[in-house]
């Protein structure tokens, strides 16, 4: 399984990666530090799942989500964000994300995400 | 005392602050029944005598400001400062009191209430991330021009200051404010220890 983790913060990416490894130790992990890099990597690598932050420089998560869904309308994108407003969740779900979770996440939440939100 | 932060420490502090501001934005969104745009927090370490200029540079010099300062103590002690323009404060007061032209007292009351929510949410969430606790003091409110936001007395006990700043942006309600979290020298050292502990936990 190939997973793309997108966040401008290294510690945030490491936190998501640590949680993924607890659930899928053999997952192939790709990283991007902004939305633009994420879109380019998505197009090139076609990952099974994307974990996407919203508040990022260069290109934010909303725009990146839109572009990824244009590339593949079946893309499995999970938004992991500090923005816990209901409207933010509504926006990303309407744009095609599978679900949105508040930061920080742990192995238990990650297991729930893979069970409930992701088709493998 | 080494008061410098390395790249990983700055990254971690910015991320913890991002999570804290996310919680505060959601609290404000509920209060204002509006959507708030989140901005990436900025982390700067400066000498205390540079603080006034840095804050002045981040706000509009033509406005008057309500400036609310709230001290907090603990391993991570310091001061949270919320700076909101007269215009934004009036919009806030009018919205919360359902009025067309709120009185100064009503605006002050609205701004203090907002600051109380912001400060307690941001600092409590930040200290939760850092596995520590703080105690809050009663906030003070002043109405100042952009050059008077920081006085010499404010920075008398500081040598180095960490400025964690961001903009709260509720465009639909035309309410925008700047938040600054200032920490003193001793707190910087404690903060570095707390951050290193969290980095170790996550990086393994």
Dump pLDDT digits (tens) for A31-67.
999 999 999 999 999 999 999 999 999 999 999 999 9
Q: Which residues of B touch A (CB under 8 A)?
A: 8, 11-12, 14-15, 18-23, 25-26, 29, 35-36, 38-40, 129, 198-199, 202-204
The closest alpha carbon to B11, from A22, A108, A33, belongs to A33
Please state whether beta strands A2-6 and A28-32 pair in parallel, antiparallel, or not at all (unpaired): parallel
CB atoms A11 and B19 under 8 Å: no
Distance (Å, rounded) from C-alpha B89 to C-alpha B121?
20
Please state whether beta strands A49-52 and A28-32 pair in parallel, antiparallel, or not at all (unpaired): unpaired
What is B7-199's CATH number, 3.40.1550.10, 3.40.630.40, 3.40.980.10, 3.40.50.300?
3.40.1550.10
Confidence (pLDDT) at B132:
86
The closest alpha carbon to A47, from A77, A14, A15, A73, belongs to A77
Confidence (pLDDT) at A55:
93
Q: What is the pTM of this model?
A: 0.87
Distance (Å, rounded) from C-alpha A55 to C-alpha A83?
8
Query: Which three-class secondary structure state does DSSP give residue B25?
Result: helix
Q: Which two tokens stand for residue B119?
A: 């400060």
Asked whether residue A23 carries a pLDDT value surpassing 70, the answer given is: yes
A2-111 falls under which CATH superfamily? Response regulator (3.40.50.2300)
Residues B118-153 pLDDT 10s: 888 898 888 888 888 888 888 999 999 999 998 888
The H-assigned helical ranges of chain A are 10-23, 35-45, 61-71, 86-95, 107-116
Query: Which three-class secondary structure state does DSSP give residue B82?
Result: strand
Lowest-pLDDT choice from B26-30, B45-49, B83-87: B45-49
Confidence (pLDDT) at B36:
92
Q: How confident is the model at residue B1 (pLDDT cuts 50, 70, 90)?
A: low
Domain definitions of chain A by residue range: 2-111
Q: Which two tokens stand for residue B104?
A: 């100064």
Minimum Cα–Cα distance from A102: chain B residue: B19
Residues A33-42 pLDDT 10s: 999 999 999 9
Separation in Å, CA of B7 to nearest CA in chain A: 10
Distance (Å, rounded) from C-alpha A62 to C-alpha A88?
9
For B14, which of A9, A54, A87 is closest by C-beta distance?
A: A9
Q: Supply the angle between the helices B7-32 and B104-129 in degrees, to the nearest 10.
A: 140
CB atoms B38 and A54 under 8 Å: yes
CB atoms A55 and B204 under 8 Å: no
DSSP state of B161: E
CB atoms B40 and A82 under 8 Å: no
Q: Which of B39, B202, B203, B204 to mutate to test the interface with A (most CBs of A within 10 A)?
A: B202
The closest alpha carbon to A37, from A14, A6, A15, belongs to A6
């Amino acid at each position: 399984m190939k997973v793309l983790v997108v966040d401008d913060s290294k510690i945030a990416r490491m936190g998501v990666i640590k949680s993924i490894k607890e659930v899928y130790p053999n997952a192939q992990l790709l990283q991007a530090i902004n939305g633009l890099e994420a879109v380019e990597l998505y197009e090139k690598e076609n990952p099974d799942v994307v974990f996407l932050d919203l508040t990022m420089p260069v290109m934010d998560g909303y725009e990146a989500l839109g572009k990824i869904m244009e590339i593949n309308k079946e893309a499995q994108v999970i938004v992991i964000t500090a923005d816990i407003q209901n409207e933010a969740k509504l926006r990303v779900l309407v744009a095609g994300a599978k679900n949105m979770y508040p930061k920080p996440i742990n192995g238990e939440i990650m297991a729930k995400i893979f069970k409930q939100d992701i088709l493998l | 005392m080494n008061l410098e932060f390395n790249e990983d420490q700055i990254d971690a502090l910015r991320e913890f602050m991002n999570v804290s501001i996310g919680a505060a934005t959601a609290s404000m969104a509920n209060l204002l029944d509006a959507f708030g745009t989140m901005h990436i927090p900025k982390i700067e370490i400066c000498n205390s005598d540079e603080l006034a200029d840095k804050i002045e540079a981040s706000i509009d010099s033509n406005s008057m400001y309500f400036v609310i300062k709230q001290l907090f103590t603990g391993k991570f002690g310091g001061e949270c400062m919320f700076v909101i323009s007269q215009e934004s404060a009036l919009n806030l007061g009018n919205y919360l009191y359902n009025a067309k032209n709120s009185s100064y007292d009503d605006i002050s009351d609205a701004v203090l209430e907002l600051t109380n929510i912001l400060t307690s949410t941001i600092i409590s969430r930040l200290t939760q991330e850092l596995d520590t606790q703080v105690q809050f003091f009663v906030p003070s409110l002043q109405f100042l021009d952009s050059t008077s936001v920081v006085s010499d007395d404010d920075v008398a006990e500081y040598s180095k200051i960490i400025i964690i700043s961001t903009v709260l942006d509720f465009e639909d309600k035309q309410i925008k404010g700047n938040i600054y979290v200032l920490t003193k020298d001793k707190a910087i050292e404690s903060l570095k220890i707390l951050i290193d502990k969290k980095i170790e936990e996550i990086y393994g």
